[in-house]
Chains A and B, each alone.
Chain A
Amino acid sequence: GENVEQHPSTLSVQEGDSAVIKCTYSDSASNYFPWYKQELGKRPQLIIDIRSNVGEKKDQRIAVTLNKTAKHFSLHITETQPEDSAVYFCAANLASGGSYIPTFGRGTSLIVHP
């Protein structure tokens, strides 16, 4: 199976609603969980990240929660705006052959309707 699973693949919300994207990972040794936003035709950019020593982190309308026991983490966007429309990727650094490899989920296409 996939090392980092991300759901849903598509999420459609009305402006002002909240959006939640969830990811699970396979490697209990993973310690770093970033989220990237990729607008159409542009490069992915980090929007928030969390390390395994904390359970939640917030930055204005964006928050990430981490449950290390269950090996899942989630991105929460409140009061969504049309400019939040983009593809969002979760990632985790997975142990591989003595080093750590950044591994991405397949992405969630978020559509915010005005």
Chain B
Amino acid sequence: DGGITQSPKYLFRKEGQNVTLSCEQNLNHDAMYWYRQDPGQGLRLIYYSQIVNDFQKGDIAEGYSVSREKKESFPLTVTSAQKNPTAFYLCASSIRGQGAKGETQYFGPGTRLLVL
């Protein structure tokens, strides 16, 4: 479980503020993902990255941005354009990108974002 970490555990955002959620992994995994979890909605993909310096939008990318400058790090910024950011955010990683064969994902402990 300690292989992928997220911080902080709780984060508060004020109106018009950008906030950044941290995700770090020491599993030497190529691929990393960000999900948003709302009650009854399951896990919805925000962004994913299959390799350093490359990332793609998921189903709900609007109002979010990411970077992948290092293999072990995949921070997510929730911008002021995201009008309903209150949710539980989960980061995950897998050995390789999904591809046709699919890969198991390993999840971090999550960050709960609340709007003040």
Residues in chain A within 8 A of chain B (CB atoms): 6, 9, 29-34, 36, 42-46, 49, 51, 89, 93, 97, 99-107
Contact = CB atoms under 8 A, between A and B. Distances in A.
A43 B107 contact: yes
B105 A102 contact: yes
Contact of A34 (B48, B90, B102): B102
Interface string B24-49: 00000000010100001111110010
B65 interface: no
A12 to B, nearest CB: 17
Contacts of B42: 6, 89, 104-107
Given A101-B48, A102-B45, A106-B41, A31 B102 contact: yes
Contacts, number: 71
Contact of A51 (B97, B102, B108): B102
Contacts of A32: 98, 101-103
A103 B45 contact: yes
Contacts of A36: 107
B43 A89 contact: yes
Contacts of B105: 34, 46, 102
A99 B102 CA distance: 11
B40 A100 contact: no
Given A29-B100, A99-B99, 13 more contacts: A44-B43, A46-B104, A46-B105, A93-B98, A100-B97, A101-B48, A102-B33, A103-B45, A104-B35, A104-B44, A105-B42, A106-B40, A106-B41
Contacts of B58: 101
